[in-house]
Chains A and B, each alone.
Chain A
Amino acid sequence: MDEPRDFIASFMDDYFAESEEHLATARQHLLLLEAAMHDDELPTAIVDELFRSFHSLKGISAMVELREAEQLAHEMESCLARIRERRSVLTPPVFETLVSATNVLEQVIVGRREGSAIPSIDQALAQFATVGASSSSRDQPPGTSTVQTHAAHSPIRVTFTPTADLVARGVRVDTIRTRLSDTGHIERVAPRITKDGGITFEFLVTGIPDDTLRSWRDDGVTFEVIEPAAVPRPVEIPATTPGPANYVRVDLGRLDDLMRFVSDLVVSRARLEDTLLRVESYVPAAIWRTLEEHTESIERQLGDLREGVMRVRLVPVSEIFRRMPFVVRDLARDAGKQVQLELVGQSTEIDKFLIERMMDPVLHLVRNAVSHGIESPEERITAGKRPDGTIRLAASTVGESVVIEVSDDGRGIDADAISRRAREAGLDVPHGELHAQALLDVISLPGFSTRDEADRASGRGIGMSVVRDSIQELGGSLSVVTTAGAGTTFRAVLPLTLAITDALIVHVGSRTFAVPQSAIQEVADIDSSAVRAIEHNELVVHRGMPLPVVRLAQLFGIDSLERQRLHVIIVGSGLGAVGILVDRISGQREIVVKALHDPLVTVTGISGASELGDGQLVLILDVAGLTRTLRHRGTAIRAAV
């Protein structure tokens, strides 16, 4: 029996990846379905998509002999098929069953992947049996009458508007429902709020003669026939929904390889250019110009290629966000809270590497918002708020950063309670009132938890300390703003290009630095005699313009021999342009940026460090910071003169 087991094992990774994809699609469409549930027409396209997802899940689960998943997916598929064929009605209980079964299905698959216990699917199956039974009673339409004026299945929209008079006469919505179901077949029913705040009930029925309906007019019943051509109309799915066929799943490792190849190419091109410069004087001018044109177009094309590869790594932040409605829904229901989730900026693009590492931190912040931030409806009403709280999940690109914010309009963080609890737990807490950042420090201490009871959110989640660590490890930062009674906002700022950027590796004396390529306008060679001192500043004339320069050796107090040839790295543009003088440039490469946050090593001109693969760190120049101080110095000097 070992052989087939191995055979299956080799497919498991593919299975998990694929099932995750199908589950993600299913979740997304369940949400669309929920939104469209009360529409007049059955959202066929969504039901179809869900059907396909569960059908595929059933198939692949059967292939890996995950029987529980197969069975569940089968039930869901059948349920959806009944809905699609209008043998069953999509009611809220049916919808709930689909949602909870999706969650169980996910747990089954996760259980298998983690090698942990696979949850029982009996309850989910039983739920299907219940909702299935109630809908199957309508599997057979009642006998059709010959006096119909419409085809048996031409749907009619029947509207019932209850009034006090009608209620007094004993005509309620139940009465009408009974009449309709006795005479014909009710496809769907939904309450509607009218513009003036009243309520009406809309029934979609088939098989009821016009005359019968007309005779109920005095009982508050109106009706209109829906032309067959208009039904069913497929629901338009928002453009963000990934089509099934236009995507390729790529191992991130392969993208990294591609990126490395491109980086190697960039270095090779730089060497080629170097060599070319050395042969310039031996080459006839006309040929030289052609050569130059060629290397320039290679450079341009390389740039495009690099950007293209980078873009492949970018994915919309919705990959994180789309899981959240489920989390919020489940948690809110369990906690007896009412929560609206607002998603903003879902199309904001962020590196795949970051997406994967931000999933858990964001999940944790959202869980915290539900379990600690948002109050119970009663508490909110007492506080004069709407009973339902709002959690806002927003992403945006700000300059070179991606900002992800998780806000709630809940009770805010009680600083006193936090410090008390932290002290009780034996943690080192600064005395006096805690400002927001100190508060974050405290709740991020390992071992800190705000709740005595292991509630569901913190019980299986990760601590705030892990949230902050993971964000910092990505070169980002986390901050919090909280107002008692009004809510809390957690704000994660992440580097746009994740931790990977291209940099020029430069040398000054025995030190090595990396200069982010994105900051560099131009690199030029100059003779040291071209550097002229003007008052306290040094400058060179570059392209006919005076360019202030700074010697990195001097700025950083590094011993370096006076050299004949210097390299000037020009950063900034126009009047803000500054040249940084270095001894040597050894190449260009992709570096993984680790930000330097600690106050001990926060110095002007250094933004971070990168490990070049041999355990050695090089410091990354903060070009913006450097030019800023130079400008200030310049201004100060000008002001003093």
Chain B
Amino acid sequence: MTTGAREHYLGQFAAHRAQLPGASLPGLQRGRDAAIERFAELGLPTTRHEDWKYTNVSALERRLFATFTDVAPDGAAEREVARHALDGMHRLVFVDGRHVPGLSRIASLPPGARVGSLAQLVATQSDIAEVLLAVESEPDANGFAALNTAFWSDGAYIDLAPGVVVDEPIHLLFLATRADLASFPRNVVRAATGSAATVVEQYAGVDDAVYLTNAVTRITAGEGARIAHTKLQQESGRSFHVADIRAAQAADSRLVSQSFAFGGQLARNDIATRFDAEGCDAKLVGLYVGSGRQHHDHHTCIDHARPRGTSRELYKGVLDDASRAVFNGRVIVRPDAQRTDAQQSNRNLLLSDSAEVDTKPQLEIWADDVKCAHGATVGQLDADQLHYLRARGLDAATARGLLIHAFAADVLRDITHPGLHARLATLLPGQLPEDMGKLRCELLPTS
């Protein structure tokens, strides 16, 4: 019998435990030890778990990845950084899970804003690092999160003192350059009262390498804080990507979460936020684009634990060939959370008979004075619209491409940073099934 994921990663942990960040810090090591024990208990999720019913990760029982590399990044990483860099942003680059200072660029930050490598922070200011690592660190919900807690090698920390506003977005770029490697990025955002920042978390891989990214991001937004988090997933076409993003919001805070899922053969995103006090606001937007045999899964959860919270959610999917997507949108309105206003929408465009989507709104409403609405659609391109465009002289392929693009580009509306908006607008046509290379995005309405 071959070794499964459990035995493999337990062995990896035993072999590399001493090389992980904070090995000399008993508190941190206890956390890692507890996590690997939890992983030993949980193992990887199977389709018998309700939350993983439509996403089968059994391939990861057979395909086992190394968890450690000491090979320094080569020129390929530098070229990738040049390709993905965004002007006018702070940038932290991580290659195969490790921070590369030479490729990063943190311009002057306002006083009270601290941004950097979590591993480095552990090495230099372990007390602060331990506090940050405790952010939203309730027991890991599944084997992937537990693996991350046990193995995390590096990641970004963003620590904002009260009232600090970082105008330039902070671009976290995670590059995978090696096949057969698992990387475990861990990011922490702590935004104190009245602070604000925009974080772009991007994953990109080279060629068709098979690797695993298992990422965790924890966000805590203090009273009145405003955090915009844009996730951009462009992993290699054969990679596995599992990510868990969780936020907790204090009174009157605002979270904007955007998730663009383009790459990977199997990609799973858990995105959750919890309103811990009154008057919170969350906007969750997503776009997944699948072709070939790609599998995209988004599980979102908005926990209205306290009154007067507002949430808006829009997820869209474009699926071609035999690709498959899962959207599970959970909204909890606790008994206390009166005057909650929640809206959710999931719209899917299927471009092939073999494409498939499982969409499930999951509303759990325990309060009575609430406004909650949800809707899900799965459809094909509109024949009337196609005909109208063709009747004006556009060939069928252009008409299709234009309609697909219009459907997808809708989710770019809320991207306020001009540089990021321009990058996504440029990137989008190339991600879509029809060749939209000549499409003039600037002519599409943006409001």
- Answer yes or no: are A and B bound together in one complex: no
Residues of A within 8 A of B (CB): none
Residues of B within 8 A of A (CB): none
